């Protein structure tokens, strides 16, 4: 019996949105593996039957390496280094279950600094080289929040041969800048990040966000045809139901959390008759030649771009971006707190 997950894999590339190697092993293999500070915190605070953290050894080893590295550089604190090493360490465990990119997100607290984000990204690459020297660094993709400064960091990293993904993306203006900067991927959020942390809360605008995913895919296709150049691939993210996922069928990549992957695997494709399957890809007419020209004119003008993002959806897009940065920054703080708590065991 064909599952809905198998059916979806015939329409879109399915990525796993997790750092749980057991899940990736059970339901994979996957193309890419995506992660962020919230996913890392959830994984690193898992407790086993003995009452101890499942990843206790990884945490302690990461802190030890961070101590060794701390005296050799001045760009990051001990806690920041240890968090980076822990996130990379978790990603490395999923290498056997992926054939594409491992996506690791930079520190969200650096989202308004281009240079600090670049240095953060380069440290992440160096951690992979240190911890997994046989792993191809060309399979590492750095996730960076879609602020003006963040996307300028993407531009420089892509110039240096490092793949990037513009994340926390809520409007076409962010996507246009990411395309102009040469990002490999963009990750539009279907739901604002808040839905994953406040039980019962729902994003009333998710329908428009689903359509945006299709619009962006068509937008990039048109740019590619006009310029004969590579444009970003769309990775639909921040999903809460298999209904949303199937509406996105046909989007190039969809990154999916373990609970939704399990639901898709356990749902027979034969019983799925929803007329909205593939809804996101039916809105190519929403992209006009005028909008292409207008967007092309703002990506070189920081002030105009910032105002366009501020005015997008009457301020809703910018509000969702700020909300996501706050949540991810809180998770970064929690991860650094985890390091401080465990550090006493290393000393």
Residues 57-81 have a mean pLDDT of 91
What pLDDT, in 10s, does the model give residues 267-324?
999 878 677 788 888 877 777 776 777 888 899 999 999 999 999 999 999 999 999 9
pLDDT band at 137 (very low <50, low <70, confident <90, very high): very high
Q: Where are the domains of the chain?
A: 4-346
pLDDT at residue 345, as a whole number:
66
For the chain, give percent helix, strand, coil, nearest 5: 60, 15, 30
The pTM of this model reads 0.95
Sequence-separated (6 or more) residues with CB below 8 Å from residue 327: 38, 193, 194, 197
Q: What is the pLDDT of residue 208?
A: 93
pLDDT digits (tens, 9 = 90+) for 45-68: 999 888 888 999 999 999 999 999
Each residue of 207-233: pLDDT tens digit? 999 999 999 999 999 889 888 889 999
The DSSP letter of residue 273 is: -
CA 323 to CA 123: how far, in whole Å?
26
Could you name the CATH architecture of 4-346?
A: Alpha-Beta Barrel (3.20)
Predicted confidence at residue 51, as pLDDT, reads: 83
**Residue 143: active-site member:** yes
For residues 217 and 13, is the Cβ–Cβ distance under 8 A?
no
Distances (CA, A) of 82 to 21, 35, 147, 200: 20, 16, 25, 34
How far apart are alpha carbons 334 and 42 in whole angstroms? 10
Q: How many residues does the chain have?
A: 347
The CA-CA-CA angle for residues 227, 223, 207, to 5°, reads 170
Q: What is the mean pLDDT of the segment spanning 146-151?
A: 98
Instruction: Examine the pLDDT at 347 and tell me if it is beyond 80.
Output: no
Cβ burial, residue 295 (10 Å; 0-12/13-18/19+): buried
User: What is the pLDDT at residue 219?
Assistant: 92
Average model confidence (pLDDT) for the chain?
94
Q: Which of 143, 206, 225, 320 is catalytic?
A: 143
Q: What pLDDT, on a 0 to 100 scale, did the predictor assign at position 71?
A: 78
Q: What is the mean pLDDT of residues 237-242?
A: 98
Give me the pLDDT at residue 346, please. Answer: 60
58 contact partners, CB below 8 Å, separation of at least 6: 44, 86, 89, 90
Other Cβ atoms less than 10 A from the Cβ of 26: the count is 13
């Amino acid at each position: 019996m064909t599952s809905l997950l198998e059916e979806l894999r015939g329409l879109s590339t399915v990525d796993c949105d997790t750092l749980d190697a057991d899940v990736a092993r059970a339901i994979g293999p996957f193309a890419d593996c995506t992660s962020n500070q919230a996913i890392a915190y959830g994984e690193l605070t898992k407790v086993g039957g003995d009452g101890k953290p499942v990843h206790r050894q990884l945490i302690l080893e990461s802190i030890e390496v961070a101590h060794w590295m701390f005296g050799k550089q001045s760009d990051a604190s001990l806690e920041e280094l240890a968090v980076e090493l822990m996130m990379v360490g978790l990603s490395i465990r999923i290498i056997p279950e992926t054939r594409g990119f491992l996506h690791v997100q930079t520190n969200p607290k650096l989202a308004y600094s281009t240079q600090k984000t670049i240095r953060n990204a380069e440290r992440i690459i160096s951690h992979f080289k240190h911890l997994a020297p046989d792993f191809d660094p060309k399979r590492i993709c750095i996730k960076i929040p879609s602020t003006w400064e963040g996307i300028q960091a993407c531009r420089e990293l892509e110039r240096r041969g490092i793949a990037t993904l513009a994340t926390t993306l809520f409007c076409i203006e962010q996507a246009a800048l990411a395309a102009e900067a040469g990002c490999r991927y963009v990750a539009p959020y279907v739901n604002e990040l808040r839905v994953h942390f406040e039980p019962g809360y729902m994003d009333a605008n998710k329908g428009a966000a689903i359509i945006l995913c299709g619009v962006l895919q068509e937008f990039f296709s048109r740019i590619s045809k006009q310029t004969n150049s590579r444009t970003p691939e769309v990775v639909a993210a921040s999903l809460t139901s298999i209904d949303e996922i199937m509406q996105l069928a046909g989007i190039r990549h969809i990154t999916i959390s373990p609970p939704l992957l399990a639901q898709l695997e356990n749902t027979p494709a034969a019983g799925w008759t929803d007329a909205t399957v593939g809804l996101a890809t039916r809105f190519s007419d929403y992209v006009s030649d005028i909008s292409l020209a207008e967007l092309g004119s703002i990506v070189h003008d920081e002030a105009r771009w910032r105002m366009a993002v501020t005015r997008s959806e009457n301020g809703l897009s910018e509000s969702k971006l700020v909300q996501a940065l706050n949540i991810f920054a809180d998770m970064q703080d929690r991860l650094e707190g985890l390091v401080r708590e465990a550090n006493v065991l290393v000393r």
